[in-house]
């Protein structure tokens, strides 16, 4: 019986790693019991460090995936931090892993979900809440895409509505906002985009899932192309998540 129990726990841990719950510092027995019942483990937030980082009760530090909040000394830092404090400090959250497990500072890279106490209400994706309210910008990484579409949509809405930091802070247009032009030639619709993050120069064909959200701003060196060959010759590579 002892041997079979060990095997079952090992198998469970393997399943959790495949579904995005692996990579946590320690998987506690109480967490395993909750997972067996179909419930995700919850971790208490001891304190909020800034608008995208918090410390858990057991000492682990979590950096929220997909967002980038103002640093100390920057515009809207206090408002961003206060918003996250109000939302999660002292509460229990579910942590969801993507591809990247930790950063260079040994912080856990996770999405955080605040469960609803009322079964009639939806749980809150903390990362989405911070972007939607204008408390944080989005942060792109080609490896971590679980909630990228949602975060990109909320970012566009917050920016257009001048919510939070978008209305209060004076950012350089090249960093935080873009013009968007339509193609001059209806046959040349391939979008050449230059990311301020880690993507670099990428092109998007109309069949790409996020084609409609991609902007083309000539002042940043972006342009439309008539063929993929033309885009490649100009130094652009096809976006990873395009067919």
Tens of each residue's pLDDT in the chain, 243 residues: 444 433 444 444 444 444 444 333 333 344 444 433 346 899 999 999 999 999 999 999 999 999 999 988 899 999 999 999 999 999 999 999 999 889 888 899 999 999 987 766 789 999 999 999 999 999 877 788 889 889 988 988 998 899 999 999 875 443 444 567 888 899 999 999 887 555 678 899 998 877 887 888 887 788 999 999 999 999 999 987 687
234: containing domain: 178-238
Same domain, 105 and 202: no
Same domain, 72 and 189: no
Same domain, 214 and 143: no
The domain boundary residue, chosen from 142, 168, 194 = 168
Contact, 85 vs 53, CB < 8 A?
no
Same domain, 53 and 164: yes
- Residue 18 forms part of a structural domain: yes
Same domain, 30 and 48: no
Same domain, 92 and 1: no
Same domain, 153 and 198: no
| pLDDT attached to residue 25 | 33
- Residue 7 forms part of a structural domain: yes
- Residue 243 forms part of a structural domain: no
Same domain, 230 and 199: yes
Q: How far apart are CA 195 and CA 214, in angstroms?
A: 10
Q: Please state the domain count of the chain.
A: 3
pTM of model > 0.85? no
Radius of gyration of the chain (CA): 21
Nearest to 202 by CA among 180, 233, 235: 235
Q: Pairing state of beta strands 223-225 and 201-204?
A: unpaired
Please, which residues bridge with residue 202 across strands? 193, 237
| pLDDT attached to residue 171 | 58
């Amino acid at each position: 019986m002892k041997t079979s129990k060990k095997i079952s726990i090992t198998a469970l841990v393997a399943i959790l790693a495949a579904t995005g719950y692996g990579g946590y510092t320690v998987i506690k027995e109480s967490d395993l019991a909750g997972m067996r019942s179909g419930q995700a483990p919850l971790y208490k937030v001891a304190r909020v460090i800034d608008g995208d980082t918090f410390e858990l009760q057991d000492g682990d530090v979590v950096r929220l995936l997909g967002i980038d909040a103002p640093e100390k000394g920057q515009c809207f830092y206090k408002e961003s931090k206060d918003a996250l404090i109000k939302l999660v400090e002292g509460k229990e959250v579910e942590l969801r892993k993507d591809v990247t497990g930790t950063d260079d500072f040994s912080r856990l890279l996770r999405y955080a979900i605040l469960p609803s106490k009322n079964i009639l209400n939806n749980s809150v994706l903390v990362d989405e809440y911070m972007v939607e309210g204008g408390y944080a910008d989005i942060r792109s990484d080609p490896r971590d895409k679980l909630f990228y579409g949602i975060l990109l949509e909320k970012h566009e809405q917050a920016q257009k509505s001048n919510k939070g930091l978008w209305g209060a802070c004076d950012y350089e247009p090249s960093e935080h906002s873009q013009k968007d032009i339509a193609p001059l030639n209806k046959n040349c619709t391939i979008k050449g985009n230059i990311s301020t993050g880690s993507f670099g120069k990428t092109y998007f064909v109309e069949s790409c899932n996020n084609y409609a959200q991609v902007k083309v701003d000539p002042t940043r060196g972006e342009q439309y192309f008539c063929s993929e060959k033309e885009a490649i010759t100009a130094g652009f590579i096809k976006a990873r998540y395009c067919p």
